[in-house]
């Protein structure tokens, strides 16, 4: 009896029930936290790298701030990034429709909105946020990188973050309306560009890209529309520069703006008419459900998720420092020794000197001229031009 009692007391315990998997981070939390982190990194890391080298900085900011940050947050939050955001294989017809819509929208709405904004804004504000400066003083390689960056990297990475994470996280479940999330995302998207003159035009673009995302459930139509807008605007700017035209929007004939807007609206009308007759133009595979977008357990550690991106960013920065040492040194020096702004009505002698300084800078960057020669000339112009402009303003 005693042995039997001991046997009963040592009988195996029933197995503990399995621990249920952790619920993934809520989409709204990802949207809010991701936006706050993106803004912090954009204003510090992204802005700093773009000051060192504009062409490299555009790619670095898009890839490591918007795309990498969003990817890491989703993986750490327990989601599959491609399924969650709608970055799954591109539907061909809606993607082509999005590209054509981006072209038509640029002429129909972006041009007149930007024209109106620049007509209303004071001249000093327009000059401060003149986007054409992006292309000034760039080598042919850097110019190509900038064009590729605004045409490829920006559409892909910004749509992944702003529509795939921010808008998706703010959009409530049906039957609630998604309009508020659409508008808020468009406003934040425009605000991130830090351009008050272009704010309204970019907000309109945000509405277009967000509408395509809502309508198709895929990021690719919005990416295509985003790319089309940036490509058309860059091509038109470079074409005008090649023809020697340096007029500002304030000097543009309003009749030309209205004519382009009319052509754009004809294009928009034709596209939406085609979409009504051919629903495939706005059709896409069903968006992944939350269950399908949930990543399997266990989740990877945050350090392991960050490691490849940190290594990649470090290698990229190291490569920049190795390949463009003189350019980085010149950019840092220029930031410490700003030149006074010369308007188109500045004395011709000052404008000629400034142009010669840019030639000297290019030569110094290529190693053909000592860096000290450029620095001395820049400091001389900094003092002389300030004095000349100050005397010119006196009655």
Q: What is the pLDDT of residue 341?
A: 86
pLDDT of residue 127: 82
Task: Check residue 386 and report its DSSP letter.
Answer: H
Tokens of 222: 């919005």
Q: What is the pLDDT of residues 277-334, one digit of tens each?
A: 999 999 878 888 889 999 998 889 999 999 999 999 999 999 999 999 999 999 999 9
Beta strands in the chain (DSSP E): none
d(CA 184, CA 203): 9
Can you read off the two tokens belonging to residue 147? 């064009």
Q: What is the 8-class DSSP label of residue 23?
A: P
Question: Residue 391 has what pLDDT?
Answer: 65
Q: Which two tokens stand for residue 4?
A: 């039997």
Nearest-angstrom CA–CA distance, 185 and 372: 48
- Give me the percent of the chain exceeding a pLDDT of 90: 75
How much is the mean pLDDT over the chain?
90
**pLDDT tens sequence across 108-134:** 999 999 999 999 999 888 888 887 777
Which of the four pLDDT bands, split at 50, 70 and 90, describes residue 136?
A: confident
Are the C-beta atoms of residues 115 and 249 closer than 8 Å to each other? yes
**How much of the chain exceeds pLDDT 70, in percent?**
91
If pLDDT is split at 50, 70 and 90, which confidence band does 249 have? Answer: very low
Place of tokens 């399997």: 296
**Would you state the pLDDT for residue 15?**
65
């Amino acid at each position: 009896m005693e042995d039997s009692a001991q046997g009963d007391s040592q009988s195996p315990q029933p197995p503990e029930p399995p621990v249920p998997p952790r619920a993934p981070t809520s989409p709204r939390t990802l949207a809010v936290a991701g936006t706050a982190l993106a803004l912090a990194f954009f204003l510090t890391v992204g802005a700093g790298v773009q000051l060192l080298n504009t062409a490299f900085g555009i790619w670095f900011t898009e890839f490591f701030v918007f795309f990498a940050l969003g990817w890491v947050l989703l993986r750490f939050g327990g989601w599959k990034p491609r399924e969650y955001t709608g970055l799954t294989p591109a539907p061909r017809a809606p993607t082509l429709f999005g590209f054509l819509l981006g072209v038509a929208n640029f002429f129909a709405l972006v041009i007149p909105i930007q024209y109106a904004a620049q007509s209303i804004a004071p001249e000093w504000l327009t000059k401060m946020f003149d986007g054409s400066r992006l292309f000034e003083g760039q080598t042919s390689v850097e110019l190509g990188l900038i064009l590729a960056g605004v045409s490829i990297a920006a559409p892909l990475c910004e749509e992944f973050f702003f529509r795939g994470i921010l808008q998706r996280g703010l959009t409530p479940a049906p039957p609630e309306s998604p309009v508020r999330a659409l508008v808020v995302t468009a406003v934040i998207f425009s605000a991130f560009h830090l351009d008050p003159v272009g704010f309204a035009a970019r907000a309109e673009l945000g509405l277009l890209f967000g509408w395509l995302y809502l309508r198709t459930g895929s990021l690719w139509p919005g990416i295509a529309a985003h790319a089309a807008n940036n490509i058309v605007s860059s091509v038109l700017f470079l074409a005008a520069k090649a023809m020697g035209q340096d007029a500002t929007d304030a000097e543009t004939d309003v009749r030309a703006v209205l004519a382009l807007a009319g052509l754009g609206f004809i294009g928009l009308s034709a596209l939406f008419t085609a979409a009504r007759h051919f629903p495939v133009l706005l059709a896409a595979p069903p968006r992944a459900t939350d269950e399908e977008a949930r990543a399997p357990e266990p989740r990877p550690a945050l350090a392991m998720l960050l490691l490849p991106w940190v290594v990649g960013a470090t290698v990229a920065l190291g490569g920049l420092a190795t390949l463009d040492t003189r350019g980085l040194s010149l950019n840092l020096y220029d930031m410490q020794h700003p030149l006074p702004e010369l308007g188109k009505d500045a004395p011709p002698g000052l404008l000629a000197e400034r142009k010669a300084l840019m030639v000297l800078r290019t030569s110094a960057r290529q190693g053909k001229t000592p860096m000290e020669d450029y620095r001395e000339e820049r400091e001389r112009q900094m003092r002389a031009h300030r004095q000349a402009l100050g005397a010119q303003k006196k009655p």
